[in-house]
Amino acid sequence: MKYIILPLLIVALSFSGKAQTSISKSEINDVEISGSKPKLIVAIVVDQMRYDYLTRFENKYGAGGFKRMIKEGFNCKNNHFNYIPTYTGPGHASVFTGTTPKNHGIIANDWFDKSLNKMVNCVEDNTVEPIGTTSHDGKKSPIRMVSTTFADENRMFTQMKGKTIGVSIKHRGAILPAGHTANAAYWFDYEHNGSGNWISSSFYMNDLPDWVKAFNSSDITESYFKVWNTFYDISTYHESGSDNNNFERIFKGKDTPTFPYDLKKLKDFNGNFKIITDSPYGNSLTTDFALAAIDGEALGQDNVTDVLTISYSSTDKVGHDFGVNSKEIEDVYIRLDKDLERLFVTLDSKIGKGAYTVFLTADHGVVEVPLYLQSIKIPSGYIRTREFREKLNAFILKTFKDSTLIKNISNNQIFLNRERIKALGLDLSSVQQAIVNEIISSKNIYKAYTATAMSTGSFAEGIEHLLQNGYNQKRSGDILTVPYPGYIFYRKTGTTHGSGFNYDTHVPLLFFGNGIKQGETLQKTVIPDIAPTISALLGISFPNSTTGKPLEFVLE
C-alpha cells in the first residue's frame, strides 16, 4: 500500500491513518486503525477435539478445511492445556484470556459457590433478562469471569469501533470467548424443550437485531430434522470401531446405537431441538448462524479489526454420547471439515483472502470409553460417586464425631463446612490433610492434595503443577482429587473429560491467514499462549491477567 506523506502534526496524531493530504478535526475519529492488520479475527474452538482427530481422520478430510489451515498456516502439534480441570467453561475462558482458572476464575462449568452455599453456572447471571426467549437459559453473562479477553482489549484499543460477536450452541461457548465488552453473544435455545431460536441476554441488548429475528423466522433450523447417515459409505470408515457395540449411548426411540438416525422421528423422545445439537447438524447450524452474523453485523468490512468467535459444540455432545472410537465421532469430524470449508470460502469472498486471520483450537480433549479400554486390556474404570461419598462420610463421622463437615463434592473437589470446623475447635489444615490421607488409600484415586498445599506450595511440573494452575483460592475446594488415568466419575456408556492426562490436554492449535507464517512445530505450546499471540499480531495490550507468551515463530 502506498501512503502520501502527511504533515508532521498529522502523523503525530495518527501513525496509521488513511492516505490523504489533510485531515479535519472532525475526521480524526474516522481514521483507520491500520491498513496492514487483519480486518477480522475468526477464533474457532472445537469442543472436545483431541489432537489425533486431525491425523486419524486426515484421509477423509477435503482440501478446504483442516488441510487448508495446515497447508497455508502454522500447525502447533504439541499444544496442551496446562491446568486441571479440562472442562468447557474453563477451556473457553483460558483460550481467550491467556491465563488459567487460577486467575480468570472460571474453575468449572458449574461449581459450588462457597459464599452462596449452592451450585452456580459459570455464566449464570440472575440480574439480566433473557432476550429472544422466556427461558431461564437466557439469564447469562460473563460476570463470573474476572479477566479480560483479547476481544475486550481489541474493543478498548479501537475505542469500541472494532466489533465482537460470539456464536455457539452452548451459552458458555458464546459468552466467555466474546468477553465483557462484546457487542453480542448468541446461543441456541435448545435445553428443556427450548424454542429452537438463537437468543441472547440483556447484558448485551434490549432486543434481537432484525437479522437474528429473520434467521429465527426462517426454516433453517427445522431443515436439520432429517436423517443423519454417514457422509461416506460406512464400510470405508476404517479409522473407527464397529458401529454396534456396548460402549455407546442409545437414543430414546432406537434399539441400537447405529446409523442411520432419523432425527425427525427421534426428536419427540430426545428433547426436540436438542437432537439437532446431538448430531453433526448442530455444527452446520452454527456455521449457518455465523455466516448470517458476518452479513448482519458487516464484520470485516472496514480496516478496524473485528472479532468473531465460533465454538462448535456438537462435537462434544456426540463425543460424550458415542466416544472416541465411534463411527459417529468420525462422521461428525468429516462433516465439520465441510462446514469449515464453507466458512473459509465465504470469508475469502466477503472479507478477502489474506485479509482475515483464523485460529482453531479446542477447549479440552476426551478419554476413550473406559469400558472399551477394558475390552482391550488397558487399565481403566469407573468411580461411583455415591460409594465414594458414603465411604468418606463414614470416615468423617468416625474420626471427627460429626456428620456435617462436608458441604459439597463436585468436579473432583471436596468443599468443607469451615464454619462447623471452626465451631468444633478443629484445625482446618489438619482436617484437610486427614481427609487426603483417607482418600489416597482409595483403590482408583491417583493423587489428592489439600487447598493449603495448593495455596502455600509451589509445583513446577507434573499433575501438581496443573492442579495449582487450576486452583482458585476464592472458589476452589478444600481437597482436590485425581483419579488414575482412564478412570472417570461417569456412566458406563459414552465418555467424559476433565483430567490433566494427555488425552484431555493435547488439542490442536492451527493458525492461518493475515500475519501468519506457514510451518509447523513440535515445540510445546500451551493454551494461554494463544491470546497474547493474537494480541501481538494486532499490536494491542495483552488481556489483563495473561500468563501465556506470544508464539513469535507463528507470526510473520
Partners of 112 in the beta sheet? 119
Tell which residue, 492, 487, 538, 495, has the closest CA to residue 513.
538
In a domain, 35, yes or no: no
pTM: 0.93
Q: Which of 454, 483, 512 is the last residue of a domain?
A: 483
In a domain, 304, yes or no: yes
Domain that holds residue 402: 384-443+445-483
CA distance 240 to 324: 8
Q: Residue 192 has what pLDDT?
A: 87
CA distance 485 to 370: 10
CATH number at residue 409: 3.30.1360.150
In a domain, 296, yes or no: yes
Burial of 25 from C-beta contacts in 10 A (0-12 / 13-18 / 19+) = exposed
In a domain, 220, yes or no: yes
Report yes or no: 76 and 510 within 8 Å, Cβ to Cβ.
Answer: yes
CA distance 8 to 386: 73
Q: Residue 7 has what pLDDT?
A: 36
SS3 121: strand
Tell me whether residue 277 is one of the annotated catalytic residues: no
Whether residue 336 sits in one domain with residue 193: yes
Whether residue 456 sits in one domain with residue 316: no
Our count of domains for the chain comes to: 2
Q: Residue 230 has what pLDDT?
A: 98
In a domain, 553, yes or no: no
SS3 33: coil
CATH number at residue 196: 3.40.720.10
Q: Which of 433, 460, 483 is the last residue of a domain?
A: 483
> What contacts 270, CB < 8 A, 6 or more positions away?
251, 252, 253, 278
Whether residue 319 sits in one domain with residue 269: yes
Q: Which of 341, 373, 405 is the last residue of a domain?
A: 373
pLDDT along the chain (556 residues), means of 10: 35 36 37 69 98 98 98 98 98 98 98 97 98 95 98 98 98 98 98 94 98 98 98 98 97 98 98 98 98 98 98 98 98 98 98 98 98 98 92 95 95 97 97 97 95 96 97 98 96 96 98 98 98 98 98 97
Q: Residue 385 has what pLDDT?
A: 87
Whether residue 121 sits in one domain with residue 87: yes
Whether residue 366 sits in one domain with residue 397: no
Catalytic residue among 86, 88, 315, 357: 88
SS3 532: helix
Tell which residue, 462, 476, 406, has the closest CA to residue 439.
406
Name the DSSP letter for residue 3: -
Whether residue 406 sits in one domain with residue 348: no
Whether residue 295 sits in one domain with residue 182: yes
Q: Which amino acid is at 179?
A: G
Whether residue 461 sits in one domain with residue 419: yes
In a domain, 549, yes or no: no
In a domain, 140, yes or no: yes
> What contacts 274, CB < 8 A, 6 or more positions away?
190, 191, 193, 194
Whether residue 367 sits in one domain with residue 452: no
Over the Cα atoms of the chain, what is R_g? 24
Whether residue 297 sits in one domain with residue 389: no
Whether residue 407 sits in one domain with residue 353: no
Whether residue 361 sits in one domain with residue 389: no
In a domain, 517, yes or no: no
Q: Residue 13 has what pLDDT?
A: 35
Q: Residue 388 has what pLDDT?
A: 92
